[in-house]
DNA sequence: CTGTGTGCAAAGGCTTTGCACTCAA
DNA sequence: TTGAGTGCAAAGCCTTTGCACACAG
């Protein structure tokens, strides 16, 4: 139980992901493969702009591919504060983050780390909270300790 | 205890707010007063565009005033899903919301409603979660019950 | 009178869309 | 061979900025 929002299928490897795309009748163009590889190699969530620059691809193509990957259940995007959307691979677990508004740090969480928080929201309001699209934002222990530091 | 992010000063009335602006050496122009009044009358968070249209003001002026109000601690903005930022008055308590990604419903919470959720985040990760800037997003009881309904 | 705040217009980030060409299947 | 996917360019949202004028204090 504790349904969570884990993907129903897990794509652990690049080949798994490519196979899934082929099964959907999608083609494996060079840009598409590059984007997918870059997501596999990424340390954390990345922006379309970042991928385009790093891979020397047109940003429009990157956006279209990210959308395709998202519709295929291979990738997802999330919002950390202001600025561009960030993209991650789905299927290897880590989909939830804690974002510190003080120092900008992003802490990657293991899959069920927020289950107790979700349970608390469910208990109080009946809402099934998702923290995948809009992660929990706050102040990390260090920033929470330092001077009031508004904003 | 349970510090929360309640404003240190409370502005219950329009006159309180106007006085606070004057104290800061800010002028009370007609557009500024209209924006403030509209925020006092608003049912919930509103966009700059909405205010501009409703008040027949230039949208740039609305944005500037919202920023001024925010810097003065009278207003705040938050992000509910995609789309424009939404603005609310600070100082009358309600600053936290639950947003349903299924049906778009926005549930306004009383000031300390999320204290137990915050406590759970603190307990688990040492983070001091803020839900004022990026509210908790999920599925309301009704949407959580209905078919899987991705997205 | 002074300079803060205004409307209008232009520009700036992020993202999407139109279009003709390329290349995966 | 053919249409899905590409690069390039333009446009679309949301928001900010520049500038000359207006008006609050």
Residue A103 has pLDDT above 70, yes or no: yes
Instruction: For chain A, list residues whose CB is within 8 angstroms of any CB belonging to chain B.
Output: 79, 81, 98, 100-101, 107, 113-114, 116-117, 120-121, 124-131, 133-141, 144
What is the tens place of the pLDDT at every residue in A84-97? 999 999 987 778 99
Nearest to B118 by CA among B1, B11, B2, B19: B2
Helices (H), chain B: 14-23, 30-41, 48-55, 59-71, 115-125, 141-145
Phi first, then psi: give them for residue B141, nearest 5 degrees: -50, -45
Say whether the CB atom of B64 is under 7 angstroms from strand C: yes
Instruction: For chain B, list residues whose CB is within 8 angstroms of any CB belonging to chain A.
Output: 79, 81, 98, 100-101, 107, 113-114, 116-117, 120-121, 124-131, 133-141, 144
Which residue does chain A place closest to B100, by CA atoms? A127
Within 8 A by CB and 6+ apart from B19, the residues are: none
Kind and range of the H or E run holding A136: strand A136-139
Output the pTM of the full model.
0.89
Q: Any idea which of A74-78, B43-47, B51-55, B92-96 has the lowest mean pLDDT?
A: B92-96
What is the tens place of the pLDDT at every residue in B132-142? 999 999 999 99
pLDDT at A11: 76
Residue B59 has pLDDT above 50, yes or no: yes
What is the tens place of the pLDDT at every residue in B81-131? 899 999 999 987 778 999 999 898 999 999 899 999 999 999 999 999 999
Query: How confident is residue A111, by pLDDT bands cut at 50, 70 and 90?
Result: confident
pLDDT at B94: 73
Total domain count, chain A: 1
Whether A39 contacts A86, CB under 8 Å:
no
Q: Which domain holds residue A134?
A: 1-151
Query: How confident is residue B32, by pLDDT bands cut at 50, 70 and 90?
Result: very high
Whether A66 contacts A105, CB under 8 Å:
no
Nearest to A59 by CA among A41, A35, A40: A35
Within 8 A by CB and 6+ apart from A79, the residues are: A85, A86, A133, A134, A135, B79, B134
Nearest to A51 by CA among A34, A64, A68: A34
Residue A22 has pLDDT above 80, yes or no: yes
What's A100's domain CATH number? Answer: 1.10.10.10
């Amino acid at each position: 139980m504790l349904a969570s929002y884990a993907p129903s299928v897990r794509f652990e490897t690049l080949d798994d992901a490519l196979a899934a795309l082929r099964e959907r009748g999608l083609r494996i163009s060079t840009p598409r493969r590059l984007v997918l590889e870059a997501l596999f190699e990424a340390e954390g969530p990345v922006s379309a702009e970042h991928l385009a620059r790093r891979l020397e691809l047109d940003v429009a193509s990157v956006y279209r591919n990210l959308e395709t990957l998202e519709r295929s259940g291979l990738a997802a995007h999330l919002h950390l504060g202001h600025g561009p959307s960030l993209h991650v691979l789905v299927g290897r677990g880590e989909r939830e983050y804690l974002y510190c508004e003080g120092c900008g740090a992003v802490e990657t969480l293991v899959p069920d780390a927020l289950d107790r928080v979700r349970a608390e929201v469910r208990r109080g309001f009946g809402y099934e909270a998702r923290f995948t699209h809009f992660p929990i934002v706050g102040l990390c222990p260090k920033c929470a300790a330092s001077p009031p530091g508004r904003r």
